[in-house]
Amino acid sequence: MPKAVKVAVLGARGLVGQWFLRMLDGHPWFKLTAVTSHEAAGQRYGDAVKWMIGGSVPEGFRDLELVESDPKKVDADIVFSALPTEAARKLEPEFARAGFTVVSKAAAFRLDERVPLVVPEVNPDHLELVGRQEWDGAIVADPNCTTTILALPLKPLHDAYGVRRVVVTTLQAASGAGYPGVPSLDLIDNVVPYIPGEEEKVRDELLKILGRVEGGRVAWASIEVAATCTRVPVLDGHLESVYVETERVVDVGEAVELLRGFRGRPQELKLPTAPEAPLVVVEGVDRPQPRYDRMAGSVPGMSVAVGRVRRGPSDRSLMFLALGHNLVRGAAGSAILLAELMVAEGYV
């Protein structure tokens, strides 16, 4: 077990920030030393936060004083960024220049050639890109929530059958838009069939994640990706209906076993936030469902639930549904797992 690593959360009052605090409470390696805010700097966290994720503010964090997102005000080894994209574009390099390792939930640098975009079970080797960065510290990106939930089941299928085309339709939870998010009158009794920028993020990020590092760069995977992203009146948990075409013939029973047996580097290393299995295959023709399956996994919310795995129209195709908690596996949990991987592999 490494010695205590000091961590900070930028944007700690937001929805992702709140999940960071919940998942860092009692963490065996990470000690939370700083929380930042744009509008509430100077206030006590317990007074300034509108806690929206159930339960209550962790006891030990209530008295932390919120500070501005300024490297001089933060004492930490790792900085988790839960900032909006534009703020991240400005602030994350300031932290990296000042020597911090920034693990970011924001989109600002995900497609930057120097920045690894990592799902810990899928492409841990991409972390070597950190060596190309000119900062004293580093920026490492955690993907968009929808992409992470898709990349996990695609990885074992791609390795076994060679995925050449993916068509995905998503039903994304309200909390995915942050707080206050989509106005209630737009979402209740409704489905919004468009999320600005999301479909491009899913395509580009997936191709980078499933790509290979060659000569210090990521050669993106050559897969055709077509995404339709919708917002539905579900609180937490993104459901994704996936159709995959492959180079090789798919045996459905074998594919189910591949999904069920999939393990990655975090499981090998037994990282504290790693679930025993990153994918849980749920039985029953009416699963997965957000209310029942979003907290799947031995670390609740850290596994993606996969169900209705079935053959598509040809024997080189497969269809399934994947569901993941957008704020846990899609956000705070995956960023914490990524930071654990970096510590265990000697990057921090």
Ligand X SMILES: NC(=O)c1ccc[n+]([C@@H]2O[C@H](COP(=O)([O-])OP(=O)(O)OC[C@H]3O[C@@H](n4cnc5c(N)ncnc54)[C@H](OP(=O)(O)O)[C@@H]3O)[C@@H](O)[C@H]2O)c1
Cis bond before residue 180 (omega within 30° of 0): yes
Angle at alpha carbon of residue 80, lines to 300 and 218, rounded to 5°: 95
Closer to ligand X by CB, 82 or 341: give it.
82
* Interface with ligand X, residue 158, by CB under 6 A: no
Closer to ligand X by CB, 46 or 84: give it.
84
Residue facing ligand X at closest CB distance: 14
Q: Which residues, 6 or more positions from 70, have their beta carbon under 8 angstroms from its beta carbon?
A: 36, 94
For residue 132, report the phi and psi dihedrals to the nearest 5 degrees: -85, -5
* CB neighbour class for 43 (10 Å; exposed up to 12, middle 13-18, buried from 19): middle
* Interface with ligand X, residue 35, by CB under 6 A: no
CB atoms within 10 A of CB 224: 12
Closer to ligand X by CB, 38 or 114: give it.
38
* Interface with ligand X, residue 115, by CB under 6 A: no
Q: Which residues, 6 or more positions from 233, have their beta carbon under 8 angstroms from its beta carbon?
A: 174, 187, 188, 189, 190, 191
Among 17, 120, 272, 333, binds ligand X (CB under 6 A): 17
Give least dist CB 132 to ligand X, A: 24
Binding flags for ligand X, 54-73, as an x/- string (CB under 6 A): ---------------x----
Closer to ligand X by CB, 108 or 344: give it.
108
Closer to ligand X by CB, 82 or 336: give it.
82
**Known catalytic residues?**
145, 238
Among 26, 136, 179, 194, binds ligand X (CB under 6 A): 179
Closer to ligand X by CB, 139 or 258: give it.
139
* Interface with ligand X, residue 83, by CB under 6 A: yes
* Ranges of H-type helices in the chain: 15-24, 45-48, 85-97, 145-161, 184-187, 198-209, 252-261, 265-268, 290-293, 333-344
How far apart (Å, rounded) are the C-alpha atoms in residues 297 and 279?
8
| Among candidate residues 298, 294, 292, 293, the one with its CA nearest the CA of residue 330 | 294
* Interface with ligand X, residue 295, by CB under 6 A: no
Q: Which residues pair with 319 in a beta bridge?
A: 243, 310
* Interface with ligand X, residue 46, by CB under 6 A: no
Count of residues that bind ligand X according to CB under 6 A: 28
CB burial readout 177-194, b (16+ within 10 A) else e: bbeeebeeeebeeeebee
Give least dist CB 195 to ligand X, A: 11
Among 31, 33, 51, 84, binds ligand X (CB under 6 A): 84
* Interface with ligand X, residue 334, by CB under 6 A: no
Q: Which part of the chain contacts ligand X (CB under 6 A), choosing from 83-91, 214-222, 295-303, 339-347?
A: 83-91
> Which stretches of the chain bind ligand X, using CB under 6 A?
11, 13-17, 37-40, 69, 82-85, 87, 105-107, 145, 175-176, 178-179, 326-327, 330-331
